[in-house]
Structure 1
Amino acid sequence: MRRYGSAVLLLLTGGAVLRISLFSELYLRYVQAALRPYLVISGSLLIVLGLVAAVRGMRKTPEAEEHEHDDHEHEDDHDDHGHSHTGGPRIAWLLTLPALALLLFPPPALGSYSASREEAQRAAQGVGSFPALPAGKVLDISVAQYSSRAIYDTGHSLKGRTLRMTGFVTHGSDGTWYLTRLLVTCCAADATISKVEIRGDASDGAPQTDTWVTVTGTWVPKGKLGTDAAWPPVLESTSVKQVKQPADPYDKR
């Protein structure tokens, strides 16, 4: 099996990358959609390299492999005064475990645990007027967009509008609960948090942590614009509906 070690590792890693990027949308748990072509190309190259390594391994004769093994043992004995390093190849097989884990058990997207480890951030910008919102009876808006307009918009573009947002549930220490979303620039490693406090009759009996919900409601003015008193923004809910986690769980900056 020694001759096929590199081939197995390359094939497993390439297969795992292609599984999450080419044959599913699981890659969206980790990176932005724009990076999908690069993942597919990388996974394909790893598969090709693995096949090349496997073919080279099959062409290697048992005599050549035994001679190579003897040479390695002689070098180890000479360099390390007789200490055995036969465990090295066995330990190298442990490198296959991360690839197997990604192939068989892809990690979930970041959620409430990550949100609890970092304070929600508000964008660093000054107060001012924002572009007009699209017309419509109910306006779909992201958590980040709502937060920015609620805290900084001197034109009060949210006033009088019925708004609808989707995110996962997090809870505060004082019994409040928040509609939360993670924002990414490139990948999950650079994620930051945006959240909106949910109030109103529809918010009674708060959903469990990490539950994905769509909340409909209206803007509640809070504090002086652009100050900590305006944070976090508040939504008066008229409807809270549990939904499935979207394929792409992150908002984009």
Structure 2
Amino acid sequence: MRRYGPAVLMLLLGAAILRISLFSDLYLRYVQAGLRPYLIASGVLLGLLGALAAARARTAREGTVPADEDAHPDEDAHDHGHSHAAAPRFAWLLALPAAALLLFPPPALGSYSAAREDAQRAARGVGTFPALPAGDPVDLSVAAFSSRAVYDSGHSLKGRTVRLTGFVTHGDDGTWYVTRLLVSCCAADATTNKVQVRGADAPATDTWVTVTGTWHPKGRLGSSAAWPPVLNTQTVRQVEEPSDPYEMR
């Protein structure tokens, strides 16, 4: 059975990658949507290599000539035969991560990841932003709202009703936030954007909500006092976690 170990590992990894990229949107928890074709190609390639390795192992097994029953292997050969006996058993442990990804894919990053990032941010330069679309409420990403609230010298958010969607995180002083993680390539480079919500009771941590309200100015533009921005809330509605939980740069 040990001769099939590499083949089984490649088949498991290929199946796990295809499960999250070809047959579901789970891959969006880890990488951007544009990387899906590469994941699918990798899963198919691993599957083909695994099948090829299994076929070669079977051919090699069928072609093995049984040892002469009257032959007596010398001591060196006997010792060599036992020197690697434990290796295949440990090698099978490599199958556990692949099986876990196949059967129990981990959830998207949430409040724990958001809490690990410091709220201190260096000023990135205050300036004007393009005008918001006509009509209220206007749907904005948490990142777009945060950038306009902290850095927009034109105050494009003033007097506008906005709608934000994200997951709930809590502060130490009873405050709560609608939060999203922003990624450039994959979940490993995620950074946090959050907006403090005022005027509504806090849902449970990691609950996904859509919040409607108006910007509450605070602090000097571009300063740490302006972060995190504040939303005077009109409505809070619980929603399902989106298939793509991250915002993209």
Q: What is the aligned partner in structure 2 of residue 37 from structure 1?
A: 37
What's the CA shift for 1:84?
Answer: 3.5
How large is the Cα RMSD of the aligned pairs?
2.1
The match for 1:240 among 224, 236, 241 is: 236
CA distance in 2, matches of 1:94, 1:139: 51
Matched position secondary structure for 1:181? strand
Seq. identity, %: 70
Q: Which runs of 5+ in 1 are unaligned?
A: none
Q: What is the aligned partner in structure 2 of residue 219 from structure 1?
A: 215
Matching of residue 13 in structure 1 with residue 13 in structure 2: yes
User: Which residue identity is paired with 1:212?
Assistant: W
Q: Which runs of 5+ in 2 are unaligned?
A: 68-72
CA distance in 2, matches of 1:161, 1:63: 77
What's the CA shift for 1:2?
Answer: 1.4
What's the CA shift for 1:180?
Answer: 0.6
Matched position secondary structure for 1:195? strand
Counting matched residue pairs gives: 243
Q: What is the aligned partner in structure 2 of residue 53 from structure 1?
A: 53
What's the CA shift for 1:74?
Answer: 5.1
What's the CA shift for 1:62?
Answer: 5.1
Q: Indicate conservation of the 8 Å contact 1:183/1:251, yes or no.
A: yes
Q: What is the aligned partner in structure 1 of residue 70 from structure 2?
A: none
Q: What is the aligned partner in structure 1 of residue 24 from structure 2?
A: 24
- CA deviations 1:177-218 (Å, max 9, x no partner) are 011110000110110001000002xx1x21010000000000
Q: What is the aligned partner in structure 2 of residue 179 from structure 1?
A: 178
Matched position secondary structure for 1:135? coil
Q: What is the aligned partner in structure 2 of residue 141 from structure 1?
A: 140
Q: What is the aligned partner in structure 2 of residue 252 from structure 1?
A: 248
Q: What is the aligned partner in structure 1 of residue 191 from structure 2?
A: 192
Change (3 A) 1:38 1:76: farther
Change (3 A) 1:66 1:142: farther
What's the CA shift for 1:64?
Answer: 2.6
Matched position secondary structure for 1:145? helix
Change (3 A) 1:31 1:66: farther
Q: What is the aligned partner in structure 2 of residue 87 from structure 1?
A: 86
140-149 or 118-127, which deviates more? 118-127
CA distance in 2, matches of 1:185, 1:76: 56
Change (3 A) 1:75 1:123: farther
User: Which residue identity is paired with 1:14?
Assistant: G
Change (3 A) 1:215 1:122: farther
Q: Indicate conservation of the 8 Å contact 1:215/1:239, yes or no.
A: yes
CA distance in 1, matches of 2:139, 2:219: 24
